[in-house]
Amino acid sequence: MGRTPYFDEKGLKKGAWSQEEDDKLKSYIQRYGHWNWRELPKYAGLARCGKSCRLRWINYLRPDVRHGNYTKHEEELIIQLHNKLGNRWSTIAKHLPGRTDNEIKNYWHAQLRKRFRHGNVSQRDCKQKSIKKQELQEQPSVEPNIVDESSVLILESSSLSGIQSSSNGQNSETVSTTSSMTSWSWDDLEQLIHENFWNEPFDVDNYGFCDNFQLLSPSQSNV
């Protein structure tokens, strides 16, 4: 995947990175660090702009970057955090160790696309029909901050059972809850996120945490 490599008018390479470029960037940063992104490619022997190098390192080459499927736990966290924070992907990413803002953003948009489809309007259809962004935002069924009952099942876990989606997507002191559930402050949520991530072993295929989740139908979830 990725874009076809090409050179711009300044002779800088754009598009997909080659293995050789990856190796150069990685070994340079591991040896000298990224002291100046604009100057770095020159010293690393790369015909790339600094921005491109920075993105490649942050989103792909960094040793602590984790790729692969999202757990139900991560999925729920993203939904909850997005409801709380909106499109602040970098902030959301800070709560998911090993995940990058770009990756989370992509994941979220993939989820949104499912919601589009449930409303019989795919993003691709929208693009092809040149529907303007503003027009999209005016459609109630595609409001990104509202958890769509028809397409997103609210996950209930033993540890997160009190957390429900905030319906307005705005920042508030507590995450809204159902009437029978306890309120969660933002601090509680942050603490929970932190504890779960560092205490739970990570294994995508055999993630025991998932066993604690119970899928609720929209009517059950009382959203």
Q: Residues in the site for DNA, rule: CB under 7 A?
A: 1-4, 8, 13-17, 34, 36-38, 50-52, 54-56, 59-60, 67, 87-91, 101-103, 105-107, 109-110, 113-114, 117, 122-125, 127, 133
**For residue 14, what are the β-bridge partners?**
6
In angstroms, give the least distance from the CB of 156 to DNA: 23
Q: Which is nearer to DNA, 16 or 215 (CB)?
A: 16
Min dist. Cβ of residue 63 to DNA (A): 16
Q: Which is nearer to DNA, 73 or 99 (CB)?
A: 99
Whether the CB-CB separation of 141 and 148 falls below 8 Å is answered with yes
Cα 137 to the chain's mean position, in Å? Answer: 21
10 Å Cβ neighbour count for 100?
Answer: 20
Instruction: Kindly report the backbone phi and psi dihedral angles of residue 85, in degrees, each rounded to the nearest multiple of 5, phi listed first.
Output: -105, -15
The nearest distance, CB 222 to DNA, in angstroms, is 27
Do the Cβ atoms of 163 and 65 come closer than 8 Å? no
Nearest to DNA of 136, 192 (CB atom):
136
**26 vs 105, which CB is nearer to DNA?**
105
Q: Specify the 3-state DSSP secondary structure of 102.
A: helix
Closest separation in Å from C-beta 87 to DNA: 4
Strand (E) or helix (H) holding 216: strand 214-216
In the complex, the smallest distance separating the C-beta of residue 11 from DNA, rounded to whole angstroms, is 13
Q: Which is nearer to DNA, 31 or 133 (CB)?
A: 133
For the CA atoms of 188, 193, 198, 200, what is the dihedral angle to 10 degrees? 110
Q: How far is the CB of 183 from DNA (least distance, A)?
A: 26
Q: Cα separation of 100 and 66, whole Å? A: 8
Q: What is the DSSP string of 3-23?
A: PPPEE-TTS-EESSPPHHHHH
End-to-end CA distance of the chain: 38
Q: 17 or 160, CB closer to DNA?
A: 17
- Inter-axis angle of helices 186-199 and 72-85, nearest 10: 150
